[in-house]
Chain A
């Protein structure tokens, strides 16, 4: 039973390992190439690239004008409503997946139960739509 998860765990582990190795390779390449770019000796440890990942930019975004509206205020314009709707409908959608896969066993009775369950969701969607939640 649990053996079926081995492939998933192996894939995630190898993918994370590959990504980490790639970042390590990038660091190694920078060590090699940065001194050349500066015109110094290749193996001079004192002129290594920025290995410590210290902040090198003065601010979050170094050029261009500062935006008039900071991101948190922008986020309030409609994302919260979408997030709440997502929670409600995703919880409803989860039941549909299992119901769909066992629909043939349940037959008409299961269909009627699901229709009854989905009714408030349909009304909720209609209400949110009418109130302009998606505009």
Chain B
């Protein structure tokens, strides 16, 4: 119980205390750069702006000290609970994300995941639907026309994306043979032959003569290499879920002010802003865990790292070093994905709401189904051939 609480507190401290201000700052800097502006400079400490790093603190204080009014005609209970739901749901998804593997430290066997659920990935789908309650009830409860339209847009987008989001990952379930996120990451801590299909089919002469170097070529068994189509589909779906450009028509300021958040202010608006940043953190963590090998290092499996260090410093110290290395690798991958995401987000135009729905049903869903079919055939073919 203490271990679970410690892991939860550390995870929340990392997400809320480090990642949220970082994303807020990075987003402001990036948008300013694209607009030819200097970026956040108002918040200063002893005359210095520290590159605008104090801006998240200033913005938080500004929002928290704003007046917080409930509009006439609003549904008060839903209006009050919506920001809390919107904030808590993305954080709950972080609980299933493995920040590292399981390590043998003598009497202790730390497992760096807060909730190692057998069906962990299903919680992602459940949370994607639960998040609908937060944003739609915010828009509906406010009672305003722009809020209502924003809620309807958000509802349409989230309902349309749920099916392709789920089906985009079925290919990964088939390849890794599990719904447990920690097991899926562990399965990526190995390598595959690039031309495994030809090897499995026993193509004559493959891997000999001129084909020998190619036959020996091996790649990390990361989801992005095993399921490239699923990676593209998942990125599109998770971007829609995150309500960020090129999607996010529900909060399109040029058409419907701030959509479901139009009538919110003060602390409640701050919670929605934090939830928006948290969705990006969750999206990055899931992308890294499902497709970019999670905590694993390419060509350096956990056993190999521990064995090489243990020769000089012993098993226990090697496991501690490996644990630290895996956490650093995971966090570095997450930050890299977020930085790339913010870069793309600022240059992409926003899609219209109907186009997003159409994209989900007529492109993402058929492609996800085709990916499942191809994966099933490939697995049956390979297993039949070997």
Name the B residues within 8 Å of A102 (CB-CB): 177
Q: How far does the alpha carbon of A112 sit from the alpha carbon of B262 in the complex, in Å?
A: 50
B152 within 8 A of A: yes
Which chain B residue lies CB-closest to A7? Answer: B115
B263 and A26 contacting across the interface, CB-CB below 8 Å: no
Within 8 A of A (CB), among B145-170: 145-149, 151-152, 155-156, 159-160, 162-163, 166-167, 170
Q: How far does the alpha carbon of A18 sit from the alpha carbon of B9 in the complex, in Å?
A: 11
Name the B residues within 8 Å of A33 (CB-CB): 65
Q: Which residues of B contact A (CB under 8 A)?
A: 1, 4-5, 7-9, 11-12, 16, 61, 63-74, 76, 83-84, 87-88, 91-92, 94-96, 113-118, 121-123, 125, 142-149, 151-152, 155-156, 159-160, 162-163, 166-167, 170-174, 177-179, 262-263, 266-268, 270-271, 354, 357-358, 361-362, 365-366, 369, 372, 376, 379-380, 383
B174 and A104 contacting across the interface, CB-CB below 8 Å: yes
Contact code string A6-36 (vs B, CB < 8 Å = 1, else 0): 1110111011101110110111011001100
Tell which of A5, A55, A61 touches B115, judged by Cβ atoms closer than 8 Å.
Answer: A5
Interface residues on A, range: 35 or more
A135 and B115 contacting across the interface, CB-CB below 8 Å: no
Name the A residues within 8 Å of B379 (CB-CB): 103-104
The total of Cβ contacts below 8 Å across the A-B interface reads 232
Name the A residues within 8 Å of B145 (CB-CB): 60-61, 66-67, 70-71
Counting chain B CB atoms within 10 Å of each CB, the highest count among A60, A90, A104, A128 belongs to A60
A29 nearest CB across to chain B (Å) = 5
A86 and B159 contacting across the interface, CB-CB below 8 Å: yes
**Given the contacts A25-B64, A60-B143, A53 and B160 also touching, CB distance less than 8 Å:** no
Name the A residues within 8 Å of B125 (CB-CB): 97
Q: How far does the alpha carbon of A93 sit from the alpha carbon of B7 in the complex, in Å?
A: 33
Interface of A is mostly: helix
Which chain B residue lies CB-closest to A63? Answer: B257
**Given the contacts A50-B69, A74-B152, A104-B379, A4 and B83 also touching, CB distance less than 8 Å:** no
Tell which of B179, B266, B383 touches A30, judged by Cβ atoms closer than 8 Å.
Answer: B266
- What are 25 A-B contacts defined by CB distance under 8 Å? A7-B4, A20-B84, A23-B83, A26-B65, A26-B68, A53-B69, A57-B263, A58-B72, A60-B73, A60-B143, A71-B152, A74-B149, A83-B155, A86-B160, A97-B173, A100-B171, A101-B174, A101-B177, A103-B174, A104-B174, A111-B380, A122-B369, A133-B361, A134-B358, A135-B358
A4 and B170 contacting across the interface, CB-CB below 8 Å: no
B362 and A134 contacting across the interface, CB-CB below 8 Å: yes
A60 and B144 contacting across the interface, CB-CB below 8 Å: yes
B163 and A60 contacting across the interface, CB-CB below 8 Å: no
Name the A residues within 8 Å of B63 (CB-CB): 26
Q: How far does the alpha carbon of A33 sit from the alpha carbon of B64 in the complex, in Å?
A: 11
Q: How far does the alpha carbon of A73 sit from the alpha carbon of B149 in the complex, in Å?
A: 10
Q: How far does the alpha carbon of A93 sit from the alpha carbon of B162 in the complex, in Å?
A: 9
Tell which of B73, B159, B177, B271 touches A23, judged by Cβ atoms closer than 8 Å.
Answer: B271
Name the A residues within 8 Å of B114 (CB-CB): 7-8, 10-11
Tell which of A29, A55, A86 touches B69, judged by Cβ atoms closer than 8 Å.
Answer: A55
B88 and A12 contacting across the interface, CB-CB below 8 Å: yes
A111 and B166 contacting across the interface, CB-CB below 8 Å: no
Tell which of B1, B61, B173, B365 touches A6, judged by Cβ atoms closer than 8 Å.
Answer: B1
Q: How far does the alpha carbon of A123 sit from the alpha carbon of B358 in the complex, in Å?
A: 18
